[in-house]
Chain A
């Protein structure tokens, strides 16, 4: 059932590209603002690059997460989905993993202009960075799906989502920036492994919370 739901999420998104396009366009625009508002000094940009990258991710993701339930809301399809004999936890997992894949795709598309516009040097190794980004995405999207599910049927949902999301993901964001700084600035892993642990803990706690509580969030 999970695979079917995941396929449905990916298929719907590939057809209308609503989440991906909104995140990509917004991400590039934010990147443009970053480029103009900073000093243009590559040395300073190199120092603050991890923080900028995650700011970009969080801002873009809030827009994409807002549209995660967009199709269901617009076509009033959520009630139909809920009437199907599907475990709500599985529904959460499908939304979580699809949201994670969309966000990861955006990061792949944005990372080249990010390095280019800010005049950043290439990292020495890519794999640890990819791992950090994937773990961070899982945490952001886990909370994002919960919050988006709550905000979906609310008035002012576009405002409500970031207001709920940003404070909740603060510890994750700190850990993401610290771990990315450690990797990008070639600091020994032993000094920043704590942050990876915080990220993993966060993903486990909020992943489980989403799985358990999604039933209460989606109940009509």
Chain B
């Protein structure tokens, strides 16, 4: 465990993340105003949207890692891709849990085929396949190539999924994010602070996971 904190930059990032998260929670519960028609349910929005943003950022990193893996032919980028895929999938799972928690009191039902929600679900399913491929794909070098291709294809698919779902069920265009521009500063500031906090948390998690992967790789290849 201590090897995770050997690097000074990681130690600083960890401390900054803990402080930011504590301030973030305080801001969500005590500074951000209560929205009359949504009451406590609206508070989940300060967690749900930043997690969703981090998950999409993560899948973008999977794609970039895949491209760099093919260009540089370095297994490091495969490990970055795997780390980003794991954290992205975890965050997507959290989006799929927090979304219905908010939707049940607001929309009156936990699930509707809304484009962002549906895109998230489909991405989650693609990444379930991604991990199955990682697990059962065969030789590790081959699996690394497959995973890189799948990571790129999955991200290319995102705009197509989004627009096809958007026009497939236009009656479900209820997502509150479209109204963000009209929100007052008291809501916007804690919201952007939460976005920033979760991005920092994501970077910390990614760096920890890559460090563990690098260590495992060294153990395997060099018998450290």
Which residues from chain A sit less than 8 Å from chain B, CB to CB? 143, 146, 150-151, 153-156, 159-160, 163-164, 166-168, 170-172, 174-175, 178, 194-195, 198, 201-202, 205-206, 209, 213, 216-217, 219
Which B residues touch A164, using CB under 8 A? 126, 129, 132-133, 150
Q: Known interface pairs A150-B137, A216-B70. Does A198 touch B145 (Cβ–Cβ under 8 Å)?
A: no
Q: Judging by beta carbons under 8 Å apart, are A216 and B145 in contact?
A: yes
How many angstroms between the C-alpha atoms of A39 and B46 in the bound complex?
A: 46
The binding surface of chain B is classed by DSSP as helix
Residues of chain B lying within 8 A (CB to CB) of residue A155 = 136, 138
Check if A150 sits within 8 Å of B157, measured CB to CB.
no
Q: Top 5 A-B pairs ranked by shortest CB distance?
A: A171-B164, A171-B160, A167-B125, A164-B129, A155-B136
B97 contacts chain A at the CB level, 8 A cutoff: no
Q: What residues on B are CB-neighbors of A159 within 8 Å?
A: 132
Which of B132, B137, B152, B157 counts the most A-chain CB atoms under 10 A from its CB? B157
Whether A160 contacts B168 in the complex (CB less than 8 A), given A153-B138, A170-B161, comes out as: no
Chain A hits for B133, CB < 8 A: 150-151, 154, 160, 164
Partner of B138, one of A143, A154, A198: A154
**Interface residue count on the B side (C-beta < 8 Å):** 31
Whether the pair A217, B145 counts as a contact (CB closer than 8 A) is yes
Chain A proximity mask over B123-141: 1 for CB below 8 Å, otherwise 0: 1011011001100111100
Give chain A residues whose Cβ lies under 8 Å from the Cβ of B95.
none
A-B contact pairs, 27 of them (CB 8 A): A143-B153, A146-B153, A150-B149, A153-B137, A154-B133, A154-B137, A156-B136, A159-B132, A160-B132, A163-B132, A164-B126, A164-B129, A164-B132, A167-B122, A167-B125, A167-B126, A168-B153, A168-B154, A170-B161, A171-B157, A172-B160, A174-B164, A178-B168, A201-B160, A206-B156, A213-B153, A217-B146
Residues of B within 8 A of A151 (CB): 133
CB-CB < 8 A to B167: which residues of A?
178, 194-195
Kindly name the residue among A159, A164, A219 whose own CB sees the greatest number of chain B CB atoms within 10 A. Answer: A164
**Nearest-CB residue, chain A, relative to B154:** A168
Residue of B nearest to A161 (CB): B129
> A residues within 8 A CB of B70?
216
Most B C-beta atoms less than 10 A away, residue of A143, A151, A219: A151
Contact of B164 among A150, A175, A219 (CB under 8 A): A175
Task: Please tell me if the beta carbons of A217 and B163 are within 8 angstroms of each other in the complex.
Answer: no
CB-nearest residue of chain B to A194: B167
Q: Total A-B pairs in contact (CB under 8 Å)?
A: 89
Distance in Å from the Cβ of B79 to the closest Cβ of chain A? Answer: 17
Residues of A within 8 A of B149 (CB): 146, 150, 209, 213, 216-217
Question: What is the bound-complex CA distance between A146 and B149, given in angstroms?
Answer: 9
Bound CA–CA A102/B125 (angstroms): 28
9 additional A-B residue pairs with CB within 8 Å, beyond A154-B138, A206-B156:
A143-B153, A150-B137, A150-B146, A156-B136, A171-B160, A174-B165, A202-B160, A216-B148, A217-B145
Q: Return B216 CB to nearest CB of chain A, in Å.
A: 21
Closest Cβ–Cβ distance, residue A137 to chain B (whole Å): 17
With a CB–CB cut-off of 8 A, which chain B residues contact A201? Answer: 160
Contact A209 B152 (CB under 8 A): yes
Inter-chain contacts of B132 with A (CB < 8 A): 156, 159-160, 163-164
Closest beta carbon of chain A to B49's beta carbon, Å: 23
Instruction: Check A168–B126 contact: CB distance below 8 A.
Output: yes
Contact B152 A160 (CB under 8 A): no
Name the CB-closest residue of B to A169: B157
Closest to B164 in A: A171
Report chain B residues within 8 Å CB of A166.
125
The chain A residue sitting closest to B156, CB to CB, is A205
Within 8 Å of chain A (Cβ to Cβ): is B142?
yes
Complex CA–CA separation, A194 to B167 (angstroms): 9
Across the interface, do B129 and A174 meet the contact criterion of CB distance under 8 Å?
Answer: no
- Once the chains are docked, how many angstroms separate the CA of A41 from the CA of B53? 46
Contact of A167 among B129, B137, B142, B156 (CB under 8 A): B129
**A202 to chain B: which residues have CB within 8 Å?**
160
* Min CB–CB distance B4 → chain A (angstroms): 33
